[in-house]
Chain A
Amino acid sequence: NAGVTQTPKFQVLKTGQSMTLQCAQDMNHEYMSWYRQDPGMGLRLIHYSVGAGITDQGEVPNGYNVSRSTTEDFPLRLLSAAPSQTSVYFCASSYSLGGDVNSPLHFGNGTRLTVT
């Protein structure tokens, strides 16, 4: 059981380049989300999805796009990378909403992105 798989683990981009961070889960979770982790800022929610075909914005959505065409996959797209997007990105999923103890957030191991 792989859980939540994020690729790539590391990425360096130049300003203005685009890329997609991949996230896949094999637990049949309805809820998926993307966070960025910055020093002194904790984790901040970028976008989330409560099921295939449904996405919504979190706390810091600007500069990022998402789509959810299948239950398993939730890619995060940077259309024109900026140095301010240098961060560690985490994908997380859960079976249901509400953060139930039987349905906690499951995190991937993160993608470390550097934009120069």
Chain B
Amino acid sequence: GNSVTQMEGPVTLSEEAFLTINCTYTATGYPSLFWYVQYPGEGLQLLLKATKADDKGSNKGFEATYRKETTSFHLEKGSVQVSDSAVYFCAHATNTGNQFYFGTGTSLTVIP
């Protein structure tokens, strides 16, 4: 079946710390992989994506690499800011793109 597993939160970091949020997936074929971010009181927004093995998605200092051999798509940022505080969701789309599967979300709080 299709599923996404991401690390449990909440995660609390000091400003300028290094961030890693782990994500692994189960899917048929070779899905596209995504990270979405949800700020308080808002809907989800696309943060970055990758469409094939070894692709690296990047945006706003965040990066994630599509690792087919480990079925993973871990999110990283070298130096987090208070404004990065949000809930982060890992997701994949089926080959047809009709259905997206989301992880449970990881809440990140960055303290000054």
Q: Which residues from chain A sit less than 8 Å from chain B, CB to CB? A: 4, 31, 33, 35, 40-45, 48, 50, 56, 58-59, 90, 92, 96-99, 101, 104-110
Contacts and interface: CB of A to CB of B under 8 A. Distances in A.
Given A56-B98, A97-B96, A40 B43 contact: no
16 contacts: A4-B43, A35-B102, A41-B104, A42-B4, A42-B89, A42-B102, A42-B103, A42-B104, A98-B32, A99-B34, A101-B46, A105-B44, A105-B100, A108-B43, A109-B41, A110-B43
A12 B97 CA distance: 34
Contacts of A40: 104
Nearest to A58: B99
A104 B46 contact: yes
Chain B at the A interface: SS class: strand
Nearest to B92: A99
B43 to A, nearest CB: 3
**Taking each of A33, A42, A45, A58, which has the highest tally of chain B beta carbons within 10 Å of its own beta carbon?**
A42
Contacts of B79: none
Interface in B42-65: 42-46, 49, 51
A48 B98 CA distance: 8
